Structure 1
Amino acid sequence: MSLRSDNTMKIGEREISNNTPPYIIAEMSGNHNGDINRALKLIDAAAEAGADAVKLQTYTADTLTLNSNKKDFCISEGLWQGKSLYQLYDWAHTPWQWHQALFDRANKLGIDIFSSPFDETAVDFLTQFDPPAYKIASFELIDHELVKKVAETKKPMIMSTGMANIQEIEEALAVALNYGNGQVTLLHCVSGYPTPIEQTNLATIKALAEKFDLPIGLSDHTLGNTTAIASVALGATVIEKHFTLARADGGPDAAFSLEPEELKALCKDVRDAWHAIGKPNFTLAQSEQPNLIFRRSLYISKDIKKGEVFSKDNVRCIRPGYGLAPKHLDVVLGLEATMDIEAATALTWDMVNRRTTNT
């Protein structure tokens, strides 16, 4: 089968393409810190900041791993060093009984809400909320059974590519397109927490777009907003960033998450960047019109009588820009004036006898 698909996607009524501002996803992840009221406040903050969507993660520790302290199951470095996988996921998961309240809050505020399911039971569970899309997390991209299960919902899919090589991306995408509705967006992602900015390789966005003819975005784990804003110039159609109410409050992902004012700035700056790119244009911009007077043009610098010859003694190339363009100076020199002209008058063609020739 072909891996190519239409290079637009819709989540609800929102088109995702290069013709629309980037779709901004605020990733809650585990930053609710086990408190449903904090989770609700995070949704409020995402809506207030101007994000298009808030995203959850739907799993339990038992659906992801085994409750074991053997070496294979223990984290030896990074943000979560010293925890077992079971401890990490038990700490970070969003309780399933919260989902109804979270979906209700987002729907009330008019912000999209959907989730990353981490196994097939999570997909079945999420179906009752009729989410507008599903997300395949980077770590799950190689789980073809999960990709198939999500695709079979016939909902739009967003798929992160962290850690995946090109073959793994092709394989997962083939499953998604074969079993789904063809609406897929790939997110370039580096699964480092946080990701050093020099390792983001944003040029991958263009490479993915050229290879797959799909909307391509960015799941960004760098600190700050520079990488996300820069990605827009390379064609990113979706931006996903983790967010929290306050990094000082701690939490599984707090160290690389945006605070509300930073998320608000991201939403503004990303959309400003998209508007700034625009389309190739070599005509006068509306904002330039008043500044035409600051260009140089040809002006009479001394009083001239009718029949007098124009010379560098009585014609100068100066500001403002109401006279003939400077490029016409060589044509005008040596020709005669058709009328009396006062100094400080913009030179126009009706003042020049073009039947005379330079001698």
Structure 2
Amino acid sequence: MQLFNIINQNKTYIIAEMSANHAGSFERAKEIIHAAKEAGADCIKIQTYTADTLTIDCDNKYFHIDDGTWKGDTLYNLYKKAFTPWEWQADLKNEADKIGIDFLSTPFDNSAVDFLENMGIEFYKIASFELVDIPLIEYVASKGKPIIMSTGMGTLGEIEEAVNAIKRQGNNQIYLLKCSSAYPAISENMNLNTMVNMKQIFGVPVGLSDHSMGSIGAVTAVAMGASIIEKHFCISREIENPDSSFSMEKDEFKKMVDDIRNVEKAKGYIRYGVTDEERDSIIFRKSIFVVKDIKKGEEITKDNVRVIRPGYGLPPKYYNNILGKKALEDIERGTPFSFDLVGEGDD
């Protein structure tokens, strides 16, 4: 698992969320894993549930979706279309292991946790909608593995309850993701400053689960200190499925990864002074120069010396110290000033 190593190197851990983008095809699911690796993702994520483990087949008003991307569907029918068959998942993990990309899943009930444990899963994801499922969170935490938890819709109190549920199991391996649980999300509702605040409050690495279109949210989050970015990933948005409309295609994802890596380089480390690249430029700082010919014994004044570019003379902070002193020799205009050119003033 690369999670710890990447974050410890001050790099962003980038997750490609497959979700329903396999559109019912095992071969496409494998293709997505390879494409995510080629696009620069550190991890491929799936979800482990069935329609029956997540809800019930009921047609009354409580189970209908009335707004948004999935308007008109029932919860049961949506999850029946979107789920990743459990019989695929061990083979998908093996495929990911084979090409060197981490494999992660989100369980939605205890049976999914048990299934993933038998698969040898190394860490877990808790979805935003499950933030309030404290019994599930406790069960996941009891496995003693790292937990990445999305916090969409969560109040500060709800996030605190979920974090405490993990810690009660003796598990302190917690990563919190800011998330806007709208599909797609819009930039105005991302409120990335909340991510920074969560890091301050809970003292854990933070990141962004990003359902917005494009990469500006993800790249901005990294600039603000995100350690993890999660984005939905697909082969093509033309392949219709419940998640395609807000997923990134390979080229878009690759561009986002490149932008994130460039932001990391720009953030750099805490460093003062001259960098190697700046050494050639330091001569263009200001320094003290002779700007009018000076005869031996003549006084140094504001008329014959000035602080100008380039930087071969004395630093400007010594300017007032040399005024009034006497030249020890003739000094030609354009000479960098130095202390050995003057005496101590009047004898």
- Provide TM-score, normalisation by structure 2: 0.92
What SS is found at the alignment partner of 1:14? Answer: helix
1:243 equivalent to 2:233? Answer yes
1:215 corresponds to which of 186, 205, 212: 205
What SS is found at the alignment partner of 1:236? Answer: coil
Amino acid of the residue matched to residue 91 of structure 1? Answer: K
1:95 equivalent to 2:85? Answer yes
Q: Structure 1 residue 53: deviation in Å? A: 0.9
CA distance in 2, matches of 1:247, 1:84: 23
Amino acid of the residue matched to residue 107 of structure 1? Answer: D
What SS is found at the alignment partner of 2:207? Answer: strand
2:52 corresponds to which of 55, 59, 62: 62
CA distance in 2, matches of 1:19, 1:199: 30
1:229 corresponds to which of 216, 219, 222: 219
1:184 corresponds to which of 171, 174, 182: 174
1:35–1:313 Cα change, 3 Å = same
Q: Structure 1 residue 261: deviation in Å? A: 2.1
Aligned match of 1:329: 319
CA distance in 1, matches of 2:59, 2:346: 98
Q: How does 1:136-285 map to 2 (within 5 A)?
A: 136-285=126-275
1:119 equivalent to 2:109? Answer yes
For the 8 Å contact 1:185–1:215, the answer to whether it is kept is yes
CA distance in 1, matches of 2:336, 2:248: 57
CA distance in 1, matches of 2:83, 2:329: 86
Q: Structure 1 residue 50: deviation in Å? A: 1.8
For the 8 Å contact 2:3–2:13, the answer to whether it is kept is no
What SS is found at the alignment partner of 2:176? Answer: strand
CA distance in 2, matches of 1:189, 1:151: 21
1:154–1:86 Cα change, 3 Å = same
For the 8 Å contact 2:64–2:73, the answer to whether it is kept is yes
Aligned match of 1:356: 345
Structure 1: runs of 5 or more not aligned: 1-10
1:73 equivalent to 2:100? Answer no
CA distance in 2, matches of 1:265, 1:312: 56
Paired residues, number: 347
For the 8 Å contact 2:290–2:335, the answer to whether it is kept is yes
Aligned match of 1:339: 329
For the 8 Å contact 2:2–2:42, the answer to whether it is kept is no
Q: Structure 1 residue 79: deviation in Å? A: 0.8
For the 8 Å contact 1:220–1:240, the answer to whether it is kept is yes
For the 8 Å contact 1:112–1:132, the answer to whether it is kept is no
For the 8 Å contact 1:21–1:275, the answer to whether it is kept is no
1:301 equivalent to 2:268? Answer no
Amino acid of the residue matched to residue 48 of structure 2? Answer: T
1:192-248 per-residue CA deviation (whole Å, 9 max, x = no partner) reads 111121111112122222222222221111222222222234332211111112223
Q: Structure 1 residue 149: deviation in Å? A: 2.1
CA distance in 1, matches of 2:316, 2:77: 75
Aligned match of 1:4: none
Aligned match of 1:289: 279
Amino acid of the residue matched to residue 286 of structure 2? Answer: R
CA distance in 2, matches of 1:98, 1:263: 24
- Provide TM-score, normalisation by structure 1: 0.89
Structure 2: runs of 5 or more not aligned: none
Q: Structure 1 residue 279: deviation in Å? A: 4.5
Amino acid of the residue matched to residue 275 of structure 2? Answer: A
Q: Structure 1 residue 12: deviation in Å? A: 5.1
For the 8 Å contact 1:18–1:237, the answer to whether it is kept is no
1:110 corresponds to which of 92, 97, 100: 100
1:108-155 per-residue CA deviation (whole Å, 9 max, x = no partner) reads 111110100111111111112212201111111222222122112211
Q: Structure 1 residue 338: deviation in Å? A: 2.2
CA distance in 2, matches of 1:214, 1:143: 21
The sequence identity of aligned pairs, in percent, is: 48
Q: How does 1:16-31 map to 2 (within 5 A)?
A: 17=7, 20-31=10-21
Amino acid of the residue matched to residue 327 of structure 2? Answer: A
